[in-house]
Structure 1
Amino acid sequence: MKEKTLRAEQTRNNIIPIHLDATFFFERAVRSLDRNHYDKALKYFRKAVEYEPENAVNHCNLAGVLSEMGDFEGSNRVLKSILDDVDPTMTECYFYMANNFANMEQFEAAEEALITYLEEDPYGQFLDEAEEMMELLRFELHRPTKVSKIKAREGMVEHDRARALLEEGKFAQAVELLEEILEEHPDFLAARNNLALAYYYMGFFDEAKDEIVKVLDEEPGNLHALCNLTILYQHEGNRKAVDELLSTLRPVVPFHQEHVFKLATTMGILGEHEAAYGHFCRLLKDDEVNFDPCLFHYAAVAAWNTGRYNNARRHWIQADKLDPESGIARFYLSQYDSWADGTLQPQPISYHYHLPFEEQFKLWQKNGGTIPESVKADPLVRSSFFWALRHGNYDTKLQVIEALGQVGDYEVQQALRAFLVEPDEEESLKDVALFVLRHLGVKGPLPLKQGGSTTFVNPEIVTSELPEWNNDWQRVVSTAFKQMKSRYDVMQQYDLENLWVEYLTKVYPDVPVIFHVEGWAAALEYLTAKMHRHPLTYQEVAERYGISVSTVSKYARQIDQVCGIKDKIKAIFPSNTGNI
Structure 2
Amino acid sequence: MDAGFFFERAVRSLDRHRYDKAVKYFRLAMELEPDNPVNYCNLAGILSELGRFEESNEVLGKVLDEVDPGLYECLFYMANNAANMGDLELAEDYLLEYLTMDPSGEYAEEAEDMLYMLAEEMGRPPKEVVPAGLPPYMMKHEEARAYLEEGRFLQAIRLLREIIEEHPEFLAARNNLALAYYYTGELQEAMNLIEQVLKIDPNNLHALCNLAVLSHHTGETEKNEGIIEMLKKLVPFHQEHTYKLATTLGILGEHHVAYELFVRLIKLDGVHEPSLYHYAAVAAWNSGRYERARYFWKKAAAIHSESEVPVFYLEHMDEWLQMEEIPKVYYHYQLPFEEQFLRFESGNDSSELLQQIKTNPLIRSSFFWALGRGDRETKLHVLRLLGWIADDEVRSLLKSFIEQDEDQDLREVALFLLRQIEAATSGRKNEKEPAERGKWQEVLHCCLENIPGRSRQLQEAIERLWAAWMTHSPEQVTTVRKVEGWAAALEYLAAKYHGFALTQKEVAEKYQVSLSTVSRHAKILEPMAKKCFS
TM-score (normalizing by structure 1): 0.55
Paired residues for 1:126-525 under 5 Å: 155-288=137-270, 291-340=272-321, 342=322, 345-367=325-347, 371-423=353-405, 425-441=406-422, 481=436, 484-485=439-440, 487-488=442-443, 498=465, 501=468
What number of residue pairs does the alignment pair up?
A: 364
Give the Å deviation of 1:362. Answer: 1.1
Greater shift in the superposed pair: 486-495 or 390-399: 486-495
Deviation at 1:240, TM superposition (A): 0.8
Show the counterpart of 2:37.
none
Contact kept? 1:338, 1:344, Cα under 8 Å: no
Letter of the aligned partner of 1:498 in structure 2?
A: L
Describe the shift of the 1:524–1:560 C-alpha distance in structure 2 as closer, same or farther (beyond 3 A).
farther
- Deviations 1:288-332, CA, capped at 9 Å, x for gaps: 3x5211111111111111111111111111112222333111111
**CA offset at residue 401 of structure 1?**
1.6
The 1-side partners of 2:144 and 2:156 are apart by 5
Distance 1:435 1:386 in 2: 19
SS of 2:203's equivalent?
Answer: coil
Structure 1 or 2: larger helix share?
Answer: 2
Contact 1:503–1:563 (8 Å) recurs in 2:
no
Residue in structure 2 matched with residue 97 of structure 1 by the alignment: none
CA 1:286 to 1:177, structure 2 compared with 1: closer, same or farther past 3 Å?
Answer: same
Q: Displacement of 1:153 after TM fit?
A: 5.5
Distance (whole Å) between structure 2 residues aligned to residue 193 and residue 168 of structure 1: 17
Q: Distance in 1 between matches of 2:249 and 2:434?
A: 54
Task: Indicate yes or no: 2:488 matched with 1:535.
Answer: no
Cα offset, 1:410, TM superposition: 1.2
Which segments of 5 or more consecutive residues in structure 1 lack a partner in the other structure? 1-151, 444-459, 461-474, 506-513, 540-548, 568-580
Render the CA deviation track for 1:215-265: whole Å, top value 9, x for unaligned: 111111111001101111110111011012123212111000110011111
Structure 1 CA distance for aligned equivalents of residues 247 and 476 of structure 2: 57
Distance 1:416 1:184 in 2: 30
Q: Is the 8 A contact 2:413 2:471 kept in 1?
A: no
Cα distance 1:193–1:499, how it changes in 2: closer, same or farther (>3 A)?
closer
Q: Which runs of 5+ in 2 are unaligned?
A: 1-133, 449-460, 492-506
Q: CA deviation at 1:202?
A: 2.0
Using a 3 Å threshold, how does the CA distance of structure 1 residues 517 and 485 change in structure 2: closer, same or farther? closer
Q: Pairwise CA RMSD of aligned residues?
A: 4.0
| Preserved contact between residue 205 and residue 232 of structure 1 (Cα < 8 Å) | yes
Q: CA deviation at 1:344?
A: 6.9
CA contact (8 A) 2:489 2:519 kept: no
Query: Does the 8 Å contact 2:470/2:477 carry over to 1?
Result: no
Change (3 A) 1:497 1:387: closer
**In terms of Rg, which structure is larger?**
1
- Which whole-Å CA distance do the structure 2 matches of 1:387 and 1:401 have between them? 12
* Structure-to-structure mapping, 1:45-124, within 5 angstroms: none
Does the CA-based 8 Å contact 1:484-1:525 persist in structure 2? no
Report the alpha carbon displacement of residue 429 of structure 1 after superposing the two structures with TM: 3.0
Q: Which amino acid aligns with 2:230?
A: T
Q: Give the TM-score taking structure 2 as reference length.
A: 0.59
**Change beyond 3 A, Cα 1:388–1:207:** same
Distance change >3 Å, CA 334–CA 218, structure 1 → 2: same
Which 10-residue stretch deviates more, 385-394 or 309-318? 385-394
Report the AA paired with residue 411 of structure 2: K
- Runs of 4+ aligned residues of structure 1 deviating over 6 Å after TM superposition are 475-480, 490-494, 502-505, 516-525
Give distance in 1, aligned partners of 2:392 and 2:527. 42
State how far apart, in whole Å, the 2-side matches of 1:379 and 1:174 are: 12
Query: How many Å separate the matches in 1 of 2:467 and 2:219?
Result: 45
Q: Relative to 1, partners in 2 of residues 1:419 and 1:482: Cα closer, same or farther, differing over 3 Å?
A: closer
